[in-house]
Amino acid sequence: MVRPITTAIQHRDFNRDFSGTSAGLQGARAAVTATAAAGAFPVLQRGERLPSGIDYLPADPEHVLWGRLPCAGDKPVAVVAPGERIVVDTVSHEGILADQGSDPVAFFGRYGVEPGQVLADAVEITARGRRSPGDGPHVVTGPIAVAGARPGDLLAVRTERLELRAPYGVISTRHGRGVLADDPQLGGDYHTFCSVTAGPDGRWLGTLPERRDPNARTGQVSFPLAPFLGIVGVATDTPTRANSVPPGPHGGNVDIRLLTPGSTLFLPVQVPEALLYVGDPHYAQGNGEVALTAFEAPLRAQLGVDLLPRELVAEELAGVAGPFAAGHGLLVPTGLDADLNEALRRCVRNAVALLGAVSGLEARQAYLYLSAAADFQVSQAVDLVAGVHGELRVADFAVENAPGPVARRILERAR
């Protein structure tokens, strides 16, 4: 079970903390100031610098699954009640996989990382070797029981705070899974080590190593960080554990870059107690995630959970299928399918239904509104099941008198 915090250091680590106080991706990028003189910072090992008064789940080997997602028969490793928070450590799969040597100390050592600056939980997970060749790559922390959750309820998972656990990570393409996997120049298996550095304004940046064409005139490539969890999901109502790669009605590997602090992901509960899990931590990702991975690197997450009862969900959200999100002034419906065009169609259908549920807008008017004013983005095109998400501005329609209690709760999370 989850260990209660008894001896936490009661201060916030502003050097690496991304909180939900700023709006949108720009807010997430601006939420951290590098007060240290140097770009690098020490790794955040398990149990270090914990907030007080919140239960904590470390990413120990006993608390994670590697390559598979929880199913109906799995036992929870922690319990949280609706309305409560939990702090969860996550570990990146990059640097621990077999094709990288199954030795994170040696792998990251090639890039100048000292052994003490490699996460101990990543080393221990690798040493246990509990991943089979046919499994996905991801390490997921959980499952976490949500007390009282029933199938048909809607689980609301709010990302309140994220902390960078390491000043480095990896971006990779492999296994013929990038969008341009068949390109003779860009296909194949390769990766780049990526450092976290301090920008001129004191914000953290991801910085690529200087590998350039000798005739090129470009300087060093850096980009702003906007951390989020690529995997947030609930257990499937199946007797066996699903592969960690494809997303589905359970959520899982949705890879929606808008899920930065201040956002809420809504997940249809499949099994009693929901069995929540998180993983696939990202420091930054572009829509599409075209090469295969994002800037993969470990995070500590502070999450808040709540439940919307199935009776009200069935009444108000009957036409909305699968997960959706809210936050930063947006409603974010999703569509998932192996065919990208069908994923888009599903997302638009869900957008029409979601608009009707929260604003009372008639379906044809909603459809026309979406064509004029909403954006639909490819979340990712590389996870076997493609994902599309919509960006619907709450400010565009009158929502003072939302049709029902579920709609009001969703809109509260969107603002």
Rounded percentage of the chain residues whose pLDDT exceeds 90:
80
Say which range, 3-12, 33-42, 96-105, has the weakest mean pLDDT.
3-12
pLDDT, position 397: 83
pLDDT, position 2: 46
pLDDT at 24 over 60: no
Q: What average pLDDT does the chain have? A: 90
pLDDT, position 220: 79
pLDDT digits (tens, 9 = 90+) for 127-148: 987 788 889 999 999 999 999 9
Q: Residue 251: helix, strand or coil by DSSP?
A: strand
pLDDT, position 15: 52
pLDDT, position 213: 66
pLDDT, position 18: 79
Q: Which two tokens stand for residue 127?
A: 């040493």
Question: Which residues contact residue 1 at a Cβ distance below 8 angstroms, ignoring those fewer than 6 apart?
Answer: 76, 77, 78, 79
Average pLDDT of span 41-56? 96
pLDDT, position 403: 79
pLDDT, position 211: 66
Report pTM: 0.92
User: Residue 202 — very low, low, confident or very high, per pLDDT cuts 50/70/90?
Assistant: confident
pLDDT, position 249: 98
pLDDT digits (tens, 9 = 90+) for 345-365: 999 999 999 999 999 999 999
Angle at 194 between CA 193 and CA 197, to 5 degrees: 145
pLDDT digits (tens, 9 = 90+) for 371-394: 999 999 999 999 999 999 999 999
Average pLDDT of span 83-88? 98
| Domains delineated in the chain | 17-172+225-308 (2.60.120.580), 312-414 (3.10.28.20)
pLDDT, position 218: 62
User: Residue 215 — very low, low, confident or very high, per pLDDT cuts 50/70/90?
Assistant: low
Question: Which residues contact residue 196 at a Cβ distance below 8 angstroms, ignoring those fewer than 6 apart?
Answer: 39, 40, 41, 164, 166, 167, 168, 169, 204, 205, 206, 207, 225, 283, 297
